[in-house]
Chain A
Amino acid sequence: MPERIAIIGVGQTEFKSKNIEVSQSELVNSAVGRALKNAELSIRDIDAVIISNMELFEGLYLADTILSEGTGSYLKSGMKVQSGGTSGSTCAVTAFEHAATGLFNAVLAIGFEKQDEGSSDAGLRAISEDTFFDINTGARGAANVISELALDMLNRGSVTEEQIAKLRVKQSENASRNPHAHLRKRLTVDDVLKSRYIIPPLRLWHICPTSVGACAIIVAPESRAKNISPKQAWVVDWVSVHGGMQPLVGYQGVALGKGPLGPMWTFGVEQSSAKLYKRNGITDPRKEFDVVEVYDMSTWNEAAWYECIRLCEKNSAGRLIDEGATALNGDIPVNPSGGVTSTNAIGASAMLRIAEAAIQIRGEGGERQVPHVKTALAVTAGGDSYSSAVLLKSSPV
């Protein structure tokens, strides 16, 4: 019988653009140490280690083996997984599956990126380009597809540029309360509206930064976990979806994010959350969740996800922003952490959504804590419409 599982420890580094004082192994170890401390465990209590990062971004082939000193995987089980932007949640989900088998006492999941040691841009150039067709479009990385998503939202009348600026201000306020966040400067609507265009309507302040840092979570099955206390964040259910946009390559250009399934990632985010809701009888997400963490590769994405995960009706994300519903003191706070727009160490980013949801349930959010969190949702997005949705609760059912 599969076991009920809980996140019993969370650790993360402070995220920044450069951290040349530490090696990749030390960086990872810092998050692992904090997660163990948070769980009141020692590395001896861990019996499997799962890790994820983007191989080409810092030039490590088989990071799981090279970093074994830092991860603590010596003489333990484990593996490396990777799925682009969702690597961190794929890693967490792999750890959930390991823990749910009941074969392990405690499973450590680690997501990290040390982008100051390599060139993410070089890595990104190899991302969405099909060797034969897409490479000719000159499209690179995520900015193109995000700009398509943003245009789509503008054209639908879902949001205005001013509303997106307001949302960016909300993100910066939350990040300023999060000691781990990378961009912690409080922004004004004016700052955002006057920042330079990257690809219109995408502006500099809309986009996630290039961050260095690591996140670790410890997952344990109910029957075998040490130190299970009422403060655990129970992982009640999870769904991962690989959306699959490739049919568009060479036709309308997957790199440009156009196609019958909507802009890039929307299909995956809709699918993962819808499946999770259906399986858990969730009909009114805005009421039923106390806090939500989403993977906002840009401010526009946070607004888009409001609609995709049904916090509001289609074409009404702007209204939700105006109401302030998703602010820290709103009725459905989204990204108390500050989100990916404030902190983006790719291999860690998706895990941070789940970690922050767990932190909120455990009441360890400090200045960014949402009061009385009992039910939390974490939704991630990456690759080409990969997405995971994770339901966490303060009690196991």
Chain B
Amino acid sequence: MTNRIGIIAAAQTKYEASKPQLNNGELVFEVVEKVVLETGLKYEDQAEEGEDLFIDSIVSCSEDYWAGKTISDMLLHLELGAFAMHATKVAADGAQAVYHGVISILSGKHDIVLVAAHRKESETVGSIIENAGLDPFYLRPLGMNFLDAAALQAKRYMYKYGVTEEQFAKVVVKNLKNAKNNPLAQRPMDITVKEVIGSQELARPIKLLDTKPVSDGACALILAKEEKAKRLTDRPIWITGIGNCYDAHYLGDRDLADCQALTIAAQKAYNMAGITDPYRQIDVAEISDEYSYQELLWSEGLGFCERGKGGRLIDSGATEMAGDLPINPSGGLLAGVPSGVAGMSRVAEAFLQLRGEAGNRQIDGAKTALAHGVTGACGQSQCVIILSNS
């Protein structure tokens, strides 16, 4: 990417099973306030004549269904600070909002963009919403939700490549253990493969502990064009590549064991960032694992290993904290992050890693990181973001 985009601040709430004390506005305000105060930035309408460092665009990320409100961002502008200035809303995963922020800056129209995502999964029944996220004629009448779709994908993945339930369970063991080092994580746990496999079966082969828990939380970042990012902080983290891609909607139109859209999204991001060997060039990856099998399948799509070798990747220990390519040192989505916020929180975690501010979950010497987000059933819409600290 010829024009780099800097991330100059990032904030996340603690992720919790429910936050009944906060409404949507208060939830997102917690993170917006943090990044705005930390950078000391004004908003466009507050800037004096001649000043050129101010937030000139806001990309919020929420969704009417989850908010239970038509135009979910409309009553949030006090909290977002959107007054008499550009503001827009992405109704998809948070990584797409970061992507939008990058596009806004590359377009030359905006210089400093606040991106913020929030969701309170505790306030509704997700499976009903997910059912509305499937085609109304063929899929919806089956009563399907994204969990059922994921079960079909996991089965197909096991059948085609011989990946096992034990290997899926290992992902859970690794990520929940990693979460013990993350003070923001909802579900840090010491757990065994046996316990994961013995947990309640939800939709074969997916068990309760193979899924991400219901979670409430928010995340915000401030992005800036290169020249302004350098003036605003000594340690900007650079977004060097972005890519997104849609797959087909109907599950029968794709081979669910191959994630074609992710392969394409990753290739776009790698081309932009000059990455030819992701396994060696990427030091840490935060990927969206709503279900344990997805960390393995997405690893294949991202080119971390060959097709069908995701199971061997987790067996090898390469994705552990001390491995060649640690995946989800934060604990990932399995440790509890709301969908919608998920992709943006991956970027925030990558930011912390590259700044060396990840505390006990820090991967020493991390220079290049990958963040990944998904939207829709079985990862129909994929987004990949590459970050670097040099």
Contact = CB atoms under 8 A, between A and B. Distances in A.
Kindly name the residue among B75, B243, B260, B376 whose own CB sees the greatest number of chain A CB atoms within 10 A. Answer: B75
A74 B58 contact: no
A215 interface: no
Given A2-B107, A62-B376, A81 B89 contact: yes
A128 interface: yes
A56 B135 CA distance: 15
Contact of B100 (A62, A94, A271): A94
Given A83-B73, A101-B107, A103-B106, A94 B88 contact: yes
Contacts of B96: 79
B107 A90 contact: no
Interface stretch (B196-204, B213-221, B244-252, B322-330): B244-252
Given A79-B100, A84-B74, A61 B83 contact: no
Contact of A242 (B64, B85, B133, B243): B85
Interface in A44-89: 49, 54-57, 59-62, 64-69, 73-84
Interface of B: 23, 58, 63-65, 68-71, 73-75, 77-78, 82-92, 96, 99-100, 103-104, 106-109, 129-130, 132-137, 243-250, 260-261, 264, 268, 375-377, 380-381
Contacts of A68: 246-249, 380
Interface residues of A, number: 62
Contacts, number: 184
A1 B381 CA distance: 29
Contact of B75 (A94, A130, A238): A130
Kindly name the residue among B100, B246, B248 whose own CB sees the greatest number of chain A CB atoms within 10 A. Answer: B246
Interface string A239-259: 111111011010000000000
A201 interface: no
A54 B64 contact: yes
Contacts of B129: 61
A75 B83 contact: no
A62 B103 contact: no
A83 B89 contact: yes
A394 B85 CA distance: 28
A241 B84 CA distance: 6
Contacts of A242: 58, 77, 82-88
A131 interface: yes
A214 B159 CA distance: 42
A11 interface: no
Contacts of B85: 241-242
Interface stretch (A14-22, A119-127, A169-177, A353-361): A119-127
Contacts of A90: 88-89
Nearest to B135: A66
A56 B260 CA distance: 30
A65 B135 CA distance: 9
Nearest to A125: B70
A241 B246 contact: no
Given A79-B90, A79-B100, A271-B84, 20 more contacts: A55-B70, A65-B380, A66-B135, A69-B248, A69-B250, A74-B247, A75-B245, A79-B92, A81-B90, A83-B89, A90-B89, A96-B107, A97-B106, A241-B85, A241-B86, A242-B58, A242-B83, A243-B84, A246-B78, A247-B78
Kindly name the residue among A65, A67, A68, A132 whose own CB sees the greatest number of chain B CB atoms within 10 A. Answer: A65
Nearest to B106: A101
B94 to A, nearest CB: 11
A60 B65 CA distance: 9
Contacts of B250: 69
B84 A97 contact: no
Given A78-B246, A84-B70, A56 B65 contact: yes
Nearest to A91: B88
Contacts of B380: 65, 68
Contacts of A240: 86-88
A61 B63 contact: yes
Nearest to A386: B87
